[in-house]
């Protein structure tokens, strides 16, 4: 099976449909994993039917204990691949999870995050933690930040082509701006705000390790990930009186229902919003 050729064609079709860079990466990654498994038995995707796809999804659930959202993404990616590349309409509706879990988002306390920041001596790593928490960024949003996205004149950070192909702005803390200026002088990034040692985009794994290591140094026993810092951003804003409707905008949620998992709506002027870094 010519997996790389198929994936390249899939990417081309997704670009034509104007999917965001991050969505394309996720869709391609899911289909690549699928094709790498089935190519051991089949020479072409035309030979693979619904029954084989069902076996694969079941294997992912049993072997990798994937979440409801991961299962939905995998099925959607394969479904889209068959429609766009193979030219086949498959009935995969029964493979989408019918029940969604409603667990509350996990988050860290303000004291735990303060310790993580204070005990992180590497300036680049400190900026990574502060960006994730202080701006409520998704991991992919952090990685895709360009130097030009930092608008110190208006004290905002521009988030471009995020989930759902949407742009938004979030507040820029004075504390974070000071660190970013020092970081810029020391590391001299060329294009992306946070770059690898040889330049170019920083890796997901590196960011995850930065957060994990910062939590370990701070003695945080809870699980600490980039997304948990994002949850903490929303939770601490809400605890400090920010209207959840504004938190919805800052997080880039399409629906208020997604944001309402944090708590009920409050009433406060958006002009009073400060980054939670200012509360530490």
Helices then strands, each counted (H, E), the chain:
12, 3
Q: Is the pLDDT of residue 272 over 80?
A: no
3-16 and 68-81 helices, crossing angle to 10°: 90
Q: Is the pLDDT of residue 271 over 60?
A: no
Task: Give φ, ψ of 217 to 5 degrees.
Answer: -60, -35
Residues forming CATH 1.10.443.10 domain(s) in the chain = 110-279
pLDDT tens digit sequence for 28-68: 999 999 999 999 899 899 899 999 999 999 999 998 888 88
Instruction: State the Cα–Cα distance between residues 180 and 193, nearest whole angstrom.
Output: 9
Q: Has domain 110-279 been given CATH number 3.40.50.150?
A: no
Residues forming CATH 1.10.150.130 domain(s) in the chain = 3-95
Catalytic residues: 138, 163, 227, 230, 253, 262
Q: Taking the model in full, what pTM does it have?
A: 0.67
* CATH, domain 3-95, list 3.40.640.10, 3.40.50.360, 1.10.150.130, 3.40.50.2300: 1.10.150.130
pLDDT tens digit sequence for 213-261: 999 999 999 999 999 999 999 888 888 888 888 888 888 887 777 676 6
What number of other Cβ atoms are within 10 A of residue 124's Cβ?
A: 17
Instruction: State the Cα–Cα distance between residues 38 and 162, nearest whole angstrom.
Output: 32
Output the CA torsion 240→243→247→249 (10° steps).
-150
Residues 6 or more apart whose Cβ sits within 8 Å of residue 202 = 143, 192, 194, 195, 196
Confidence of residue 104 (pLDDT cuts 50, 70, 90): low
């Amino acid at each position: 099976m010519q997996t790389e050729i198929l994936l390249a064609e899939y990417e081309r079709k997704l670009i034509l449909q104007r999917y965001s860079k991050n969505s394309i990466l996720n869709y391609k990654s899911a289909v690549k994993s699928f094709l790498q498994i089935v190519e051991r038995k089949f020479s072409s995707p035309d030979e693979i039917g619904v029954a084989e796809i069902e076996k694969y999804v079941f294997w992912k659930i049993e072997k990798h204990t994937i979440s409801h959202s991961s299962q939905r993404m995998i099925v959607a990616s394969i479904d889209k691949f068959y429609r766009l590349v193979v030219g086949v309409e498959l009935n995969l509706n029964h493979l989408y999870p019918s029940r969604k879990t409603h667990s509350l988002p996990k988050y860290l306390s303000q004291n735990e995050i303060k310790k993580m920041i204070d005990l992180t001596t590497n300036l680049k790593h400190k900026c990574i933690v502060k960006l994730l928490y202080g701006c409520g960024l998704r991991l992919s949003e952090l990685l895709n930040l360009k130097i030009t996205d930092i608008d110190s004149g208006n004290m905002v950070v521009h988030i471009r082509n995020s989930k759902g192909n949407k742009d938004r702005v979030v507040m820029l803390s004075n504390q974070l701006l000071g660190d970013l200026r020092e970081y810029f002088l020391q590391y001299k990034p060329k294009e992306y705000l946070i770059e690898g040692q040889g330049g170019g985009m920083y890796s997901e794994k590196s960011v995850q390790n930065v957060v994990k290591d910062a939590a370990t140094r701070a003695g945080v026993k809870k699980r600490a990930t980039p997304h948990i810092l994002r949850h903490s951003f929303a939770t601490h804003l809400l605890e400090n009186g920010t209207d959840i409707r504004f938190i919805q905008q800052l997080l880039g949620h399409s629906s208020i229902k997604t944001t309402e998992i944090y708590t009920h709506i409050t009433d406060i002027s958006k002009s009073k919003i400060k980054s939670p870094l200012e509360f530490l």
